[in-house]
Amino acid sequence: MKVQTKSKKVNKAWLNDHVTDPFVKLAQKEGYRSRAAYKLKELDEVFQLFRPGQVVVDLGASPGAWSQYLRRRFAPKEAGVGGAAVGELNGTIIALDMLEFEPVEGVEFIQGDFREAEVLAQLEAALQARPVDVVVSDMAPNLSGISATDAARIEHLIELALDFSRQHLKPQGALVAKVFHSAGYDQLVAAFKAQFVRVKVHKPKASRDKSSETFLVGIGLKKA
């Protein structure tokens, strides 16, 4: 009974934080599916990542707020219903996630596990040999609560995103990846520094203070 009571208190506290969160309210007002859109927006504003005409791959895309932001970014003068721009899309957005994804006009979605070779092959086929300007990754594994296990799962996903970026990014391309301040964090930063000319760490204002999440931004591939 104590566990259930504590759980209810935690859930109630989370719900209160969620309902009163200014970014949640802003997302509802502006038609974004989640507050996460403002994390990518700030990263874009700080590092000038996106511009119309680019090819962008959105990993861990569901529920779609990042794809929505990118859609608007590639058609900024054509605001539409539901948070996504409508009409002609100046750019390519390919989204991938294990979860279902409500369509965003002009965004190509692939449902599957990025860790599986068959799914990766689908993503590569969708690119049609086009080099990628930016890879964005909001991927996160199901956490077990066991620090070493969770750190290994997170590190594996980031390693896959790094490997994909190394093979498909343009020389001056960028990778944006969500990571957590936990065991293995320093190794992930080192892996970014080994691959990219510029590496920055940034925690957007839309990330809750209580959250250990932050974002690594790697820009410009180092020559092999």
Report the chain's mean pLDDT, rounded to a whole number.
86
Spatial distance between the Cα atoms of 62 and 67, rounded to a whole number of angstroms: 9
What sign for the dihedral angle of Cα 179, 183, 185, 190?
negative
53 is in an annotated binding site: no
pLDDT at 141: 77
Residue 222 annotated to the active site: no
97 is in an annotated binding site: yes
The token pair at 33 is: 């599916």
Do 176 and 203 meet the contact criterion of CB atoms below 8 Å apart?
A: no
Spatial distance between the Cα atoms of 75 and 169, rounded to a whole number of angstroms: 23
Higher-pLDDT residue of 150, 165: 165
Tokens 């070779």 locate to 117
The token pair at 77 is: 């003068």
Higher-pLDDT residue of 30, 57: 57
64 is in an annotated binding site: yes
Query: Which residue in 178, 200, 203, 210 is the catalytic one?
Result: 178
Spatial distance between the Cα atoms of 212 and 81, rounded to a whole number of angstroms: 33
Higher-pLDDT residue of 76, 28: 28
Spatial distance between the Cα atoms of 64 and 67, rounded to a whole number of angstroms: 5
CA angle 102/107/110 to nearest 5° reads: 70
The reply to whether CATH 3.40.50.150 applies to domain 34-221 is yes
209 is in an annotated binding site: no
First and final C-alpha spacing in the chain: 58
Listed by start position, the domains of the chain span 1-30, 34-221
- One DSSP character per residue, 97-122 reads ESS-----TTEEEEES-TTSHHHHHH
As a whole number, mean pLDDT of residues 60-82 equals: 80
